[in-house]
């Protein structure tokens, strides 16, 4: 089945979808994005993603391409047209094209670009990777200073994943000024003596939609949470660790820089939070 995608008002087969070579998303990564997961044909935490998108757009003085209600409609239609039961909806908004390349922002009336596509991922919730747990390496964080804005500047995270792959690992955690910021595409946590530790929100990390939900659920489950800076050495000495993201939910981490955590298998708190998160999210999916 050919995938149907959405580009600037039209639903098209992916092979027919086009954007301008002068689109600033393409030329300058002048674009923001969101990834929303789909379970049982429904969107997980659409509201959270829509609110963060609005914030990313406003921080960059970028125009919203349409209303939240219209975005929801497009998400749902793509899920339906592509028969997605489990998978992801990727959305990207660009500052559009002024018909040429220029560093200066295009005129006010430039139409923003809007692109959405789905990824079909059967077995997303019951993932073998989550049963095994992930191995991570640590790398330096050399990204720009506004990581709270979800821009499409993903070259360094992509390089980080490649560094991990070359080292025989699954992902990388990034370190700045001696402290872990986050994973290449997820927020990072460790657990020591029953306390969940994660970096506090600031411009240094993405404000994960899954992070917010998981911390709320952890608090409801009477688990102790400390939002503070932490080093990679602390994480290596942890009982267990995990990451959160909209596409992988709660992912146990079993090894950091070659050091096995606990007995080297997914820890009980990570497993429990994954279960709670999936159960709760499916219940409130729309």
Sorted by sequence, the CB contacts under 8 Å of residue 60 that are 6+ apart come out as 30, 32, 95, 149, 151
| Shorter beta-carbon distance to ligand PMP: residue 106 or 172 | 172
Q: Of these, 82, 94, 198, 244, which contacts ligand PMP (CB under 6 A)?
A: 244
CA distance 285 to 136: 30
**Cβ proximity to ligand PMP, 118 vs 186, nearer residue:** 186
Report how far Cα 12 is from the mean position of its chain's Cα atoms. Answer: 25
Sole window of 164-172, 180-188, 257-265, 272-280 interacting with ligand PMP (rule: CB under 6 A): 180-188
Q: How far is the CB of 147 from ligand PMP (least distance, A)?
A: 6
**Beta carbon of residue 161, minimum distance to ligand PMP (angstroms, whole number):** 11
Angle between helices 68-81 and 46-59 (to 10 degrees): 130
- Quick one: which segment of 16-24, 128-136, 191-199, 201-209 binds ligand PMP (CB under 6 A)? 201-209
210 binds ligand PMP (CB under 6 A): yes
Q: Does 151 bind ligand PMP (CB under 6 A)?
A: no
Among 187, 198, 256, 276, binds ligand PMP (CB under 6 A): 187
Q: Which is nearer to ligand PMP, 207 or 271 (CB)?
A: 207
Asked if 274 interacts with ligand PMP (CB under 6 A), we say no
Kindly tell me which of 82 and 245 has the beta carbon lying closer to ligand PMP.
245
| Rounded least distance, CB 49 to ligand PMP, Å | 7
Strand order in the sheet with 4-7: 10-13, 4-7, 113-120, 87-94, 31-39, 42-43
> Of 117-125, 220-228, 239-247, 258-266, which part binds ligand PMP (CB under 6 A)?
239-247
In the set 135, 150, 161, 271, the catalytic residue is: 150
Contact 213, 44 (CB under 8 A): no
Is 150 marked active-site? yes
Residues 19-78 that bind ligand PMP (CB under 6 A): 35
Listed in order, strand segments (DSSP E) in the chain are: 4-7, 10-13, 31-39, 42-43, 87-94, 113-120, 134-140, 171-176, 179-183, 187-192, 195-198, 224-227, 240-245, 249-256, 259-260
Stretch that binds ligand PMP, among 56-64, 80-88, 121-129, 204-212 (CB under 6 A): 204-212
Cα atoms in the Cβ-side hemisphere of radius 13 Å centred on 22: 11
Q: What is d(CA 41, CA 59) in angstroms, rounded to the nearest whole number?
A: 32
Active site residues per annotation: 150
Contacts with ligand PMP by CB under 6 A lie at: 35, 182, 185-187, 206, 208-211, 244-246
């Amino acid at each position: 089945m050919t995938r149907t995608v959405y580009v600037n008002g039209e639903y098209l087969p992916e092979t027919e979808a086009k954007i301008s070579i002068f689109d600033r998303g393409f030329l300058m990564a002048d674009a923001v994005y969101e990834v929303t997961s789909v379970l049982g044909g429904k969107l997980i935490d659409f509201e959270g993603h829509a609110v963060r998108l609005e914030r990313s757009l406003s921080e960059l003085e970028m125009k919203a391409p349409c209303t939240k209600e219209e975005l929801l409609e497009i998400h749902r239609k793509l899920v339906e047209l592509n028969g997605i039961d489990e998978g992801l909806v990727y959305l990207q908004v660009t500052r559009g094209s002024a018909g040429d390349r220029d560093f200066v922002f295009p005129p006010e009336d430039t139409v923003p670009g809007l692109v959405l596509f789905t990824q079909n991922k059967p077995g997303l919730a019951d993932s073998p990777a989550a049963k095994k747990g992930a191995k991570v390496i640590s790398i330096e964080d050399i990204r720009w200073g506004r990581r709270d804005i979800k821009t499409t500047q993903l070259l360094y995270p992509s390089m980080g994943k490649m560094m991990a792959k070359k080292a025989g690992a699954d992902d990388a955690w990034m370190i700045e000024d001696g402290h872990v910021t986050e994973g290449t595409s997820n927020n990072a946590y460790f657990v020591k003596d029953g306390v969940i530790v994660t970096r506090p929100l600031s411009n240094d990390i993405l404000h994960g939609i899954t992070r917010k939900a998981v911390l709320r659920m952890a608090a409801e489950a009477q688990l102790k949470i400390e939002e503070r800076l932490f080093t990679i050495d602390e994480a290596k000495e942890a009982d267990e660790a995990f990451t959160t993201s909209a596409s992988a939910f709660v992912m146990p981490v079993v090894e950091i820089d070659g050091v096995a955590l606990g007995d080297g298998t997914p820890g009980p708190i990570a497993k429990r939070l994954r279960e709670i998160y999936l159960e709760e999210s499916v219940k409130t999916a729309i």
